[in-house]
Structure 1
Amino acid sequence: MKYSKNNKPRGMIKLSSVLKILILIVVAAIIILGSMATAIVLGIFKKAPVIDPSEYRSQLSETSRIYTNDGKLIETLVSDEFSEFVPYEDIPKNLVNAIVAIEDERFFEHSGVDYKRVVGALIHDLKTRSFDQGASTITMQLAKNLYTSFSKSVVRKITDVYYSYQIEEDLTKEQILEAYLNSAGFSKGTVGVQAAAKTFFNKNVSELDLAECALLAGVTNLPEKYTPYNTQEISPEDDLGNIEVVLLPKNENSKPNSDEIIEIAKSLNELGQIDNFDLIQIQNDLMVPVKAVFNKTSQERQKLVLKKMHEQNLITNEEYENALNEKIDINIGSRKESGISSFYTDVVQKNTIKILMNSGYTKEEATSKLFNGGLKIYTPMDIDIQRTLEQVVSNPKYYYGGFTDKNGVIQPQVASVIIDQKTHEVKALVGGRNVSGGRLLNRALVPRQPGSSIKPISVYLTAFNNGATAGDVYLDSKMPEKIFGYSPRNSGNYYQGWTTIRNLLRQSSNVGAFQVARDISADKDAKANKNSTYSKVYNDEESINKMVDTLKSIGVSTIVEKKDNPTWNDMDYSPLTLGGMSYGISPFEMAGAFTTLANEGKYANPYVVSKIESNTGEVIYQVDPKEEEITTPQNAYILTDMLRDVVKRGTGRNASFAGQDIAGKTGTTNDKKDVWFVGYTPYYTCSVWIGNDKNQKLSFGSTQSAYLWKQIMRAVHEDLDKKEFEEPNGIYTKYVNGRRELFADGTKPHYTNKMGWYKDSQEKKSEDKKDDNDKNNDNEKKSSNENESKTRKKSSSKSIITDENEE
């Protein structure tokens, strides 16, 4: 019986049809899933930021460095990572081959993705049910280092593939290797092969041998596992002279350094393993010393690298055997110049950020650029002068009556700045003694009340600019409070009677400085002023404003004006003549201000940054000091000659040493809370401040700051020829009060008619005889005296912090 299609049982389907349907479903699913996957991938590609692989150098994080005036490295500015760019041609061929052999053996054949490796990795991961083989090529790793992240995600992997093709299109293989070898991490906060070579072997990458190249090449796979060294605690049984010492920063959860650690640190210091400032940081519990121990696990990885290189015919059998048998020595490289504190470079960093912000960067961008932009920052620091300054101020014999405060900081403290007045270069700077490390108080930048050291730059410089001379005559005697409402007093109640401005400055007369300041605005030839003990026609506000203008013109930035604080400010004679200012002046600005007198009356801002280069060598900043004439060369020389007298015969005798011409001024504030000496030679200007951080009374006066100044400057000038201050043309000599005096051409001494007068007889004359000029100016004098009385009362309220105590 024949069957037809119509006779086939219902509900029955051929097996072949089922298979066809299944195939169609699978194909449809593949198409749908493929479409979805393609859409997802395309979406990832679309969202990926646009990159320009040809600008890879700008993407590399590179540590900036600070150099001395002669190009010597002072400090590497390591924030989180240490990196230093090196061009491809300086990287050893063995290191390139080692990296390619272990990381991406078909690197020179693929176009960004090694599909053979991808398949092999996929099979391995499926068999082991793990994802420990990622199949990333060097190009993909470069994309991760520069453009994506270190997160393990499908999106990141796909983006890496996308970027790797772009990189391969834009860069040569050598450029890709250059970028990768400068961006790969090598543990211990090092990025790039140059930083790794310096960190682990204390040499440039170009100097590495085959064994060292293979060791470094093995690190990048798992940096913390294959790091060349690990750290261990140092024990007294260790051979301290033959260990590699590493200083690790402490944090708030760290245990305090034990007495045993402190003793070990002292021994390391004696053996030259750490310097004095490292020891201070350990004693202050900022750092802890540990020893570097070779990591044998890294050598196992090194052997695998060498084996791969041998199998790929990148090294000979002899090279392979020699490298396997070579002993690896870890030699930890230093990232800063030893023997100096960070105070100078702290100022350099602050100034660099300001320079970058002035160029258009935000503060955040400037800070990032400073630490990660690969800048080369050149300074005018003289490393020999800096070391000398550090060594002298650290000697405890210059600070008797010392103690340690509750923060563990030794007191009293010190700050000193040395400037080349001709070039305005800051040659050396310290902001403390027996303290070190970043982010500490830099006392060189902290304003402190200057005492009488302010007199040359506020009172006398301004007075000379307004017609005063060294031969002007004043009465150095107690001033009657019934006239002034207030009377400054001289240290030790020592008064000279009628004398000249030269002698007032030499003996640091407070009374004299006060009177000279009043006369800044006075007509010294007016009869009312010539024929009375104290000038009667003057303008307080004008005199004070002129002193303030002078101080501002020579870099003093901490004056409190009435617009800043109407009730408590520095717009008065007391702060500006005796130095009892609201905040004071920093040692940095004091040294800068005195360069005006040392540099023929010209001032420019002192600088610590002379040039900044980008990581590609482009000069992005070059200092250009703008000098301004603050006073004439004649005035500057005469004031210098007067300050020479201070050192030879006055309050600054302790600063004198043979072999150099010296000028300068002491300063002591009330209760000896701050003592100063600011002085100069024909070579350098130097400020010295000594005081306690919490403003406690010192056990000594300004004779000690002058003595410390001498020790610093004598050492600095040890090998310099003797020079004298050069006298400019336009000066003549005249005798006043029996003493030879210097005058600028066209000027003459004032008030010489007052010589020999006594206060009582003068007051009687003033009462008995009134000249016509006095009568015509009664109203003016009345107004002036009323103002004067108000000023004196105000001054009296501040006198408690301004009396000079020169020794």
Structure 2
Amino acid sequence: MKKNRKRQTGGMLRFSSIIKILLIIVLMVLVILGTFLGAYVLSVLKQAPPIEPENYRNQIKETSKVYDDNKNLVQTLVLNEFSEYVSLDSIPKDLQRAVIAVEDERFYDHNAVDFKRVVGAIVHDLKTRSLQQGASTITMQLAKNLYTNQAKSIDRKLTDIYYAYELESVLSKDQILEAYLNSAGFSKGTVGVQAAAKTFFNKNVTELNLAECALMAGITNRPEKYSPYNRGNIEPNDDLSKTEIVLRPIAEGETNNEAIISIGKQLLELGIIDNFEYKQIENSQLVPMKAVFNPVSKERQELILKLMLQQGYITEEEYNEALGYEIKINLGQRREKGISSFYVDEVKKETISILKDLGYTHEEASNKLYTGGFSIETSMNLDMQKKVEDIVSNPSHYPGNFTDEKGNPQPQVASVIMDPHTGEVKALIGGRGIVGSSNLNRATTPRQPGSSIKPISVYMTAFEDGATAADVYLDSSLNGSKLPYKPRNVGNSYQGWTTIRNLLRKSSNVGAYLVARDIGSDRNNKANTAYSYSRAVDEKKAATMIMENLENIGISSLVWPEDNPARNDMNFSALSLGGMTKGISPLEMAGAYTPLANQGEFMKPTFVQKITTSSGEVIYENKKEGKKVMSEQNAYVITDILEEVVTQTTGRNANFPRMHIAGKTGTTNSQKEAWFVGYTPYYVCSVFIGRDDHKPLPFYSTTAASLWRSIMQPLHEDLEDKEFEEPTGIKKEYVKGVGKSELIVEGTEAHFTNKMVRYIPKPKPKTNDDDKDNKKDKDDKKTDNNDKRDKSSKGKNSDYRGR
């Protein structure tokens, strides 16, 4: 017995020892695992970048918006996501409670992490061997939205928890809820409850009812699954007038068939889409589809309503009423219909430039443009823009109108309307029948300006150099002259001895050249007054002065000899007749005419007037500062001449009653471009017409002048007719030799008036004095730097014909 008892006792001791050893081993394993786990957690948290919870608002992206001059919304600048921030007091209590009920029942009780949900989620994930349930609280989801990402990983979960505690230590529960509701994704490229309300119901979030709130609250769990609508193909029996239409970007390799284009045509006729959207459908850029209510979102909504009832947020009556409410999808619009995007394209460019001036890098500025939540106030007059878009789209304005192989109407058009006193661009046309964005903007693309350059190149520079409207020149064929450049007038029509007024009024090519070459010279030098054509001139100096003047009034497309020695604009074909290497854009042309319309002050064309952040801080405001580039008196005299262009000569087609108008036509070689640039006391407007392939037009600049009138006349219907303001310092006096009165700026005098009565001799034998002088001139030119300059102008553009 004793022996057996000893054996039992020994066995028990051995078993007890084994248990102790096992416990020690388990404890050691747990310690080791805990050590490794702790080390792992610490390593993850060490890699987590520090955050500043108090600056959470800066982490929430918000879509910027563009407004017109009356603060009407023109376009929401959506790149990838549409987002608008609203304060918590603007979010219905029903929406707040619906989100809490389904996402985080104990939101106001826990401190960042709900451990009860965590245990339940761990058990579920272990059973299913997945990470399906994350037990994320609203605070953890906010951390994910602001600081981490959507990846399903333990590292991210640990980081979310860490950040959640930091957020809870600094922010109130209301701040956390507000930030979450403004940063959560709601499908279809929408972020935040305000953007979602506008996207799905075309309402502000404040207007949502209980049923809509519950539906919205259900989206964030799995946005694409619970989205309120899905896209569906439009069926032949669909009533398009009652169908919510979605325009989807076309997939690569996909093209719209005739049936789809026919649907687009019907949508256009119903006014559901505008002409620009129709063109994108026609050109296989967009596909029209219908928004179909998603029944799965309704199931999710019913679950949330039940949770709200169970948690005491709503009554039984409210629950039943919300269940029975018929949800209707009403898609909101993100841009103004009826206008192309060319204007807004320029607003984007200018905004990025402004932000860069404020210290942002180009990449930062480009990103902030879309996500900075800016309110960008522009100078666009929405009503004016729509009217001009409608006018230029009428094909009757373009003789020989046709559609090219790309589906674009030809010829194309560009027009810019601006206030010459402020620089504000009120309307801009970058093409007709084309939307904008990735397409060529003809308003900012240089084209050869022809004779429309003359007032701003030759005559503006000459008048500032002392020329007057009464200066006398010989408007005659230069074939028999010794001049190095021999332009011809259109139709070989010449006036003989005449004044600068008549040269500009009748757009003389010969006259523009002769006036240009005198710039910078002593006009009273006998070598200039005693001969038909001035001899003491420095043509290189004159050309340089003209180019400097053009750059001073905003022309950025000039090509200088140092840029391209072989082909540049340092020649009179380019500077006096408009046969330029690149040309001038309609936008810069409109700006260049502002000194004439604005008492000698140049106003750079601008689009952006003010930029305000979402917090109300004004970070930019256009000061509308001009630059004095010519005297008020010279501006008025040239304007007075250009009024005669409109009333008497090439610009007559631009004239309309009860308004003072000044302007200049321009037709280039082979009629490849047609221009009219003109102004009233209210607006300056440039009009360009030309084919994209640069082939000849079947008309002249008179067609551009007619289109200018069609654009400008309606805009002036309610405006008072007033004269261009005449400054002091101008006198109208009789000019001896010329035989008539002319406007003369005080301090200046008419030149070459002695030539007006001079007899033009026929060619004489080489022994006469004139031939000796001509021979001397020829010999002198062998060593004259101007000879090299003039030879460079003899080429492709040497007989450039402006009109």
TM-score grouping bracket, smaller chain normalisation: over 0.9
Q: Which amino acid aligns with 1:455?
A: K
CA shift digits 1:314-343 (9 cap, x unpaired): 112211111111111111000001111100
Q: How does 1:584-595 map to 2 (within 5 A)?
A: 584-595=583-594
The structural deviation recorded for 1:604 is 2.6
Quick one: distance in 2 between partners of 1:49 and 1:85?
25
Q: 1:781 to 1:203 in 2, by over 3 A?
A: farther
The structural deviation recorded for 1:511 is 0.1
The structural deviation recorded for 1:7 is 9.1
Q: 1:762 to 1:749 in 2, by over 3 A?
A: farther
Q: How does 1:635-674 map to 2 (within 5 A)?
A: 635-674=634-673
Quick one: distance in 2 between partners of 1:345 and 1:281?
17
1:694 alignment partner, SS class: coil
2:518 alignment partner, SS class: helix
The structural deviation recorded for 1:799 is 2.4
Q: Which residue of 2 aligns with 1:802?
A: 800
Q: Which residue of 2 aligns with 1:607?
A: 606
CA shift digits 1:671-727 (9 cap, x unpaired): 011111001000000001110111111111100001100100011112212121011
Q: 1:791 to 1:757 in 2, by over 3 A?
A: farther
Q: Which residue of 2 aligns with 1:751?
A: 752
1:401 aligns with 2:387: no
Query: Retained in 1: the 8 A contact 2:487–2:798?
Result: no
The structural deviation recorded for 1:361 is 1.6
**Identity across matched positions, percent:** 55
Q: Which amino acid aligns with 2:748?
A: T
Q: 1:128 to 1:214 in 2, by over 3 A?
A: same
Normalised by the length of structure 1, the TM-score is: 0.96
Q: Which residue of 2 aligns with 1:207?
A: 207
The structural deviation recorded for 1:756 is 3.2
745-754 or 545-554, larger mean C-alpha shift:
745-754
1:272 alignment partner, SS class: coil
Normalised by the length of structure 2, the TM-score is: 0.96
The structural deviation recorded for 1:366 is 1.1
Q: Which residue of 2 aligns with 1:166?
A: 166
1:522 aligns with 2:517: no
CA shift digits 1:510-566 (9 cap, x unpaired): 000000001112211122211211011111111011101110110001110011111
The structural deviation recorded for 1:735 is 3.5
2:418 alignment partner, SS class: strand
Query: Retained in 1: the 8 A contact 2:131–2:152?
Result: no
Quick one: distance in 1 between partners of 2:333 and 2:768?
78
Query: Retained in 1: the 8 A contact 2:485–2:798?
Result: no
Quick one: distance in 2 between partners of 1:475 and 1:605?
36
Q: 1:484 to 1:27 in 2, by over 3 A?
A: same
1:335 aligns with 2:334: yes
Q: Which residue of 2 aligns with 1:226?
A: 226
Q: How does 1:340-739 map to 2 (within 5 A)?
A: 340-736=339-735, 737-739=738-740
Q: Which residue of 2 aligns with 1:31?
A: 31
After TM superposition, where is structure 1 displaced by more than 4 Å over at least 4 residues in a row?
A: 1-13, 127-130, 761-771, 777-781, 783-789
Query: Retained in 1: the 8 A contact 2:68–2:74?
Result: yes
Quick one: distance in 2 between partners of 1:578 and 1:317?
83
Q: 1:437 to 1:577 in 2, by over 3 A?
A: closer
Q: 1:394 to 1:489 in 2, by over 3 A?
A: same
Q: Which residue of 2 aligns with 1:71?
A: 71
Q: Which amino acid aligns with 2:743?
A: L
Query: Retained in 2: the 8 A contact 1:580–1:801?
Result: no
Query: Retained in 1: the 8 A contact 2:112–2:161?
Result: yes
1:185 aligns with 2:185: yes
Quick one: distance in 2 between partners of 1:420 and 1:765?
58
1:666 alignment partner, SS class: strand
Q: Which amino acid aligns with 1:68?
A: D
Unaligned runs of 5+ in 1: none
Matched residue pairs, number? 801
Q: Which amino acid aligns with 1:751?
A: F
1:428 alignment partner, SS class: strand
1:742 aligns with 2:747: no
CA shift digits 1:726-751 (9 cap, x unpaired): 11111111234444321111222111
Quick one: distance in 2 between partners of 1:756 and 1:762?
19
Q: Which residue of 2 aligns with 1:793?
A: 791
Q: Which residue of 2 aligns with 1:308?
A: 307
The structural deviation recorded for 1:9 is 11
1:520 alignment partner, SS class: coil
Q: 1:781 to 1:266 in 2, by over 3 A?
A: same
Quick one: distance in 2 between partners of 1:506 and 1:766?
39
CA shift digits 1:551-610 (9 cap, x unpaired): 011000111001111121111111000111110111000000001100000013111111
140-149 or 784-793, larger mean C-alpha shift:
784-793
CA shift digits 1:278-314 (9 cap, x unpaired): 1111112111111111111111111111111111111
CA shift digits 1:199-249 (9 cap, x unpaired): 001111111111111110011111111100111111232111111111111
Query: Retained in 2: the 8 A contact 1:226–1:295?
Result: yes
The structural deviation recorded for 1:630 is 0.7
Query: Retained in 2: the 8 A contact 1:688–1:705?
Result: yes
Quick one: distance in 2 between partners of 1:762 and 1:524?
26
The structural deviation recorded for 1:10 is 9.8
Quick one: distance in 2 between partners of 1:571 and 1:365?
39
CA shift digits 1:467-515 (9 cap, x unpaired): 1001111111001355024310000111111111011111110000000
Query: Retained in 2: the 8 A contact 1:573–1:795?
Result: yes
Quick one: distance in 2 between partners of 1:357 and 1:763?
67
594-603 or 606-615, larger mean C-alpha shift:
606-615
Q: 1:112 to 1:670 in 2, by over 3 A?
A: same
Quick one: distance in 2 between partners of 1:422 and 1:61?
37
CA shift digits 1:452-474 (9 cap, x unpaired): 10000000000000110011111
Quick one: distance in 2 between partners of 1:531 and 1:765?
19
The structural deviation recorded for 1:791 is 3.7
601-610 or 357-366, larger mean C-alpha shift:
357-366
Quick one: distance in 1 between partners of 2:777 and 2:400?
55
Q: Which residue of 2 aligns with 1:149?
A: 149
1:14 alignment partner, SS class: helix
CA shift digits 1:597-626 (9 cap, x unpaired): 000000131111111122322111122233
Q: Which amino acid aligns with 1:207?
A: E
Query: Retained in 2: the 8 A contact 1:197–1:205?
Result: yes
CA shift digits 1:439-460 (9 cap, x unpaired): 2111111011111100000000
Q: Which amino acid aligns with 1:125?
A: D
- How much is the aligned-residue C-alpha RMSD, in angstroms? 2.3
1:124 aligns with 2:149: no
Quick one: distance in 1 between partners of 2:599 and 2:420?
10
Query: Retained in 1: the 8 A contact 2:729–2:746?
Result: yes
777-786 or 169-178, larger mean C-alpha shift:
777-786
The structural deviation recorded for 1:765 is 13
Q: Which residue of 1 aligns with 2:245?
A: 245
Query: Retained in 2: the 8 A contact 1:538–1:784?
Result: no
Q: Which amino acid aligns with 1:105?
A: E
Quick one: distance in 2 between partners of 1:292 and 1:679?
48
The structural deviation recorded for 1:197 is 0.5
Quick one: distance in 2 between partners of 1:731 and 1:131?
86
The structural deviation recorded for 1:787 is 4.3
Q: Which amino acid aligns with 1:97?
A: R
Quick one: distance in 1 between partners of 2:418 and 2:289?
39
Q: 1:251 to 1:7 in 2, by over 3 A?
A: closer
